[in-house]
Amino acid sequence: MYERCHSTEPTPLPAPLGTRADLRSPSDVKIGDYVYRDGLFLRVADIRSAGTAAHRVLFFDGHPPWLMAAPTITYRPIELTRFRSPFWPARKGRHLTRPRSFAMRFRKIHGAGNDFVFLSDPTPGRDNDWAKAAEQLCARRTGVGADGLVISRLVSTDPALLEVACFNADGSTATMCGNALRCTAWAASQDHGLKEMRLLMAGVAHEAVVGDDTVWVTAEVGAIHPRRVQAVINGKPTWFDSAYTGTEHVVAVVDDVDAIDTVTVGRLIRNHADLAPLGTNVNFVQAAGRQELKLRTYERGVEAETLSCGSGAVAAVLIATLRGLVARRPVTVHNQAGEPLTVHPHPGRPARTQWVGGPVTHTFEGVLA
């Protein structure tokens, strides 16, 4: 067991400052805390998810990690190669015929039309294959129906931090999804009363703020490459610029987004040889007035046009700014859902971070049996 200060065992080193005297539950342990193990007080360098707050892996500098294997305060050493979080895919050959073997509550939430099956702090199963679950749950005719599956886990409330995993409808992992993050922030506000928080997705920390009508999250900006690939659209040669906003995007400026066969052209560019092997999300953007854009997006992983795309809206604003369509001020991005997103530079780091905000809607909830 671990404890905060007092022990019946001899302690070769004094307890570090800040170590509490009482035994505490696993969910109360945070990065930077000290735990008592093998006669030493060890500082927690990192914490990984093993399903819930009562199932966690603690990492120490220079010492083997510990896995919480049951909802008690007893940890046991474990080799890294033997640990697999439920956020990680199951081993090949061990896929379940059903996405889960236990009842689990879910919510259906959409961010400006980009919809998700949402799970908060799911109870771990023996072999949760979330990629397979995403394929089954997101199917529009045979499942719940969604663009993706989002799994969130509350890591701490002070400071407020949640870990987020997002799986696309085809089972692939999303490294960034602005609307999934916005839905997560909204749910954290409802569940825990949080209004400002950090969200960790694919190892990248995002800020989030929940207002009365708008939920905001940050997107980190990477490389921008003008004239990345070209295609003929409606008889007109058209260039696509690329902009990395946590995931791969290309953007074409067109005269009329409604005249584009988004699925046909989007699929062609998404699988373009010059963008292999990862492929890309494909955006078509049109100037729609002063500081306003109209956007349509073909999303990789959904393999279809979605009603809204948060990271795509950020990419569209970046390219539209590069092309002189809008200024470096707040931009309204109109989407197919009719629920616009707003994008503006982060005041503290405008060159590398953008805020994207808009509505979040809780559609319904149920139980996955």
The pair of structure tokens assigned to 273 is 């040889």
Q: Around Cβ 104, how many Cβ atoms within 10 Å?
A: 18
Dist CA 160 CA 45 (whole Å) = 18
Catalytic residue among 138, 166, 183, 309: 309
* 183 is a catalytic site residue: no
| DSSP string for 105-170 | EEEEEEETTEEEEEEESPPP-TT--HHHHHHHHH-TTTSS--SEEEEEEEEEETTEEEEEEEEETT
Annotated active-site residue 177? The verdict is yes
Phi then psi for residue 337, to 5 deg, are -80, -15
User: What burial letters (b/e) apply to 268-282, b meaning 16+ CB within 10 Å?
Assistant: ebbebeebeeebbbb
Asked whether 58 and 66 are in contact (CB, 8 A), the reply is yes
CB count in 10 Å sphere of residue 367: 8
3-state secondary structure of 65: strand
Contacts of 189 (CB under 8 A, 6+ apart): 195, 210, 215
Main-chain dihedrals φ then ψ at residue 311, nearest 5 degrees: -65, -30
143-154 burial, b for 16+ CB within 10 Å, e for fewer?
bbebbbbbbbbb
- C-alpha 160/C-alpha 153 separation (Å) is 11
- Point out the catalytic residue in the list 138, 166, 177, 183: 177
Contacts of 239 (CB under 8 A, 6+ apart): 226, 227, 228, 229, 230, 252
Residue with tokens 């294997």: 69
Return the active site residues: 177, 309
